Structures are given as C-alpha cells and as structure tokens.
C-alpha cells in the first residue's frame, strides 16, 4: 500500500456564507495540491458554519441545508477536487427528500462522492436527525473512516470504526473553548481574537490551556494509540458565530504522537505522509488483536437510554 499525503486545515468560517467558505477552502486546497497532498480535510460544517445553527428555526435550517451529492456545494467540491486531482473532505447540513436534516461530512474526488457520514450524536439543533451507521471507505488504497466531533467522545464509535477496517479516521470538529462541568473549561473572550496582534501570547495561552488544547490532549491521542490508527483532526480557528475556536488541526500517528499541527493564529493547513508500517508496530494494533469479545459482548451491547448533556447548549434548552 502506497504512502498517502494528507493535509488538515483550520480557517475562520462565516455563518451561512457558503460562497465565502468554499472560496477559502478552494484556495487552501490549491496550495495543498501544489505541495503534493492527496487529500485535504476541513472542519465540521466548514461549508455552512456551525454554532449559529442553534439560533435558526427549523425552516431556516432546512433552507441552509443541501442535498448530497446533488447540492451546489458538493458539486462545487467535486469540481475543485477533479481539477486538483485530490480528495476533499468537508462538512455541511444535509437534507433529504423527506425534509429530514442531518449533520453531514463528505469525501469527494473528481469522480464524485466517495463517502458521506451523518453525525451519530448531533445536538446543535433538535431538528437534526442522528445518523444510524458507521462510515468506512477507501481512499488511495487506504481504509478510512469518518466520525464527527461528539461521535469521537463516545469511545465505542472509534473502536467500532477501527474494527470495521479503518486505518485512518477523519475527525472533523467544532470544539474547545466552551463551558462544561470539567474544571478549567469556559469560553475564551472574543476580544482577545479581535486584538490578537496586540497580545498574541495571551491568546495562545488561553487557546493552549485547560479551556482548549490541554483538554484535547487528554483524550485525542488515546483514540489513535488505543486503536492503532491515524487520526486526522480538523477544527476551526477564530469566531464561529459568537464563540471563539482555537484551531489546533493536527494529524496523530498510531503511536499517539502528533505528526503535524496548525499553530498559527489564522488560516493554515499542515501536511503529513502516512505509511502502513506504523500501524502493525503500534500497541493499539496488538491490543485489538488480543481482544476477548466473549467477556464483554453482552455488556457493551446491553440496552440503555442514551442521555447527552452539553453544558454550553443549556441556554437554548438543549442539555
């Protein structure tokens, strides 16, 4: 299996401004292709914006959503991917012919839609229908999976996707810098972003502390390490509606080590080359092979009523 060059990006999107967001993504994809990248991954709802959706009516959200793959945005991505001879992964709100709405992440190339994943654990708006299946597909000879943001916090989802054969899991997010019961969490003051050139060190300290990257590092490398997979994490930077996000888009190898990470206070992407040899050498690969499903099959599969509480959404009535 040949090595694969993958870029992961961070940028500041504009709410509901698909034309602008796609223009930024096109420019970044062009630069990544010029560096020899086979694929570039953008964040959750990178086409449409994300956080503002909590304020929309169902009809407004339905109007923002598009059909996949026949909608304008997916067709535009396919056109860009074909021209650049690369794969592009990006997120948007999807609708179907029954007027159901999904949080969707697509992978396209010049031939069309390669894969789409509907978020299993959506919470930004009560009108969104949860996805009901895992997503595994082939990209450049590699088996890849997609899990969107909160999907990755439920550890069974990552293990299940890996057991279905995924060697690389794309993990698009809009995360960090929001309140939760966890000590040290909270919003980062948007004024720090507005004046980032005056005091970049203070902003970086907030972004890297317990509100942001410090929390991410508690669990994200473990997903890669424990499952023996590559993780491609994408996250926006700057204002997403009224919330400030800290980027940190990165690729993590099967040993749980960061291969490359976006560290600027602006639009950026990083590119890494992934190789098959790391997977077989990883502890996570050995742990997976050593499983004894007969011990916990009935425990993991036991019926229960899911309860999903998201602290920063409580003002809107979603907890």
| Domain regions of the chain by residue span | 4-316
Whether 247 shows a pLDDT value over 90: the answer reads yes
317 pLDDT above the threshold of 90 = no
Q: What is the pLDDT of residues 59-89, one digit of tens each?
A: 999 999 999 999 999 999 999 999 999 999 9
| DSSP-derived secondary structure letter, 188 | P
| pLDDT attached to residue 311 | 78
Determine the average pLDDT of the residues in 126-153.
98
Given a cut of 60, whether residue 315 has pLDDT beyond it is no
> Which tens digits make up the pLDDT trace of 200-225?
999 999 999 999 999 999 999 999 99
pLDDT at 314: 60
What is the separation of C-alpha 263 from the centre of its chain, rounded to a whole number of angstroms?
17
The span from the CA of 158 to the CA of 166, in Å, is 9
Give strand pairing partners of 254: none
More confident residue, 316 or 242: 242
pLDDT > 90: percent of the chain: 95
pLDDT at 138 over 70: yes
> 4-316, superfamily in CATH?
Carbon-nitrogen hydrolase (3.60.110.10)
pLDDT at 306 over 60: yes
Helix or strand or coil: residue 161? helix
114 within 8 A of 108, measured Cβ to Cβ: yes
Spatial distance between the Cα atoms of 23 and 66, rounded to a whole number of angstroms: 18
User: For residue 61, what are the CA distances in angstroms to 76, 127, 184, 253, 283?
Assistant: 21, 8, 33, 37, 43
Residue 316 in this model has a pLDDT that exceeds 50: no
Average confidence score pLDDT of the chain: 96
DSSP-H helix ranges across the chain: 18-34, 58-64, 72-84, 155-163, 190-194, 200-208, 213-227, 277-281, 283-289, 293-300
Taking 50 as the threshold, does the pLDDT of residue 94 lie above it? yes
Q: What is the mean pLDDT of residues 150-175?
A: 98
Whether the predicted pLDDT of 229 surpasses 60: yes
Chain centroid to CA 273 = 19
């Amino acid at each position: 299996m040949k090595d694969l060059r993958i870029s992961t990006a961070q940028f500041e999107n504009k709410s509901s401004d698909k034309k602008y967001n796609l223009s930024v993504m096109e420019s970044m994809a062009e630069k990544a292709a010029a560096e020899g990248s086979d694929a570039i991954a953008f964040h959750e709802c990178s086409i449409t914006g994300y956080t503002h959706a909590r304020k929309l009516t169902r009809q407004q959200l339905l109007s923002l959503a598009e059909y996949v793959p026949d909608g304008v945005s997916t067709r535009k991505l396919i056109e860009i991917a074909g021209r650049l001879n690369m794969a592009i992964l990006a997120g948007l709100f999807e609708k179907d012919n029954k007027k159901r709405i999904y949080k969707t992440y697509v992978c396209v190339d010049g031939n069309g839609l390669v894969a789409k994943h509907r978020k299993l654990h959506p919470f930004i708006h009560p009108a969104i229908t949860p996805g009901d299946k895992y997503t595994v597909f082939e990209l450049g000879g590699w088996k890849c999976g997609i899990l969107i943001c909160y999907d990755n916090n439920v550890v069974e989802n990552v293990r299940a996707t890996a057991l279905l054969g995924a060697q690389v899991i794309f993990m698009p997010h809009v995360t960090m810098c929001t309140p939760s019961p966890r000590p040290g969490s909270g919003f980062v003051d948007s004024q720090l972003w507005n004046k980032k050139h005056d005091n970049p060190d203070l902003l970086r300290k907030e972004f890297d502390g317990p509100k942001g990257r410090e929390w991410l590092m508690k669990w994200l490398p473990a997903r890669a390490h424990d499952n023996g997979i590559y993780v491609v994490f994408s996250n926006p930077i700057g204002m997403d509606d009224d919330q400030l996000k800290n980027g940190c888009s990165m690729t993590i190898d099967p040993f749980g080590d960061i291969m490359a990470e976006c560290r600027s206070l602006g639009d950026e992407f990083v590119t890494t080359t992934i190789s098959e040899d790391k997977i077989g050498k990883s502890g996570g690969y050995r742990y997976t092979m050593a499983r004894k499903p007969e011990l916990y099959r009935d425990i993991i599969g036991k019926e229960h009523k899911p309860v999903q509480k998201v602290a920063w959404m409580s003002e809107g009535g979603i907890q």
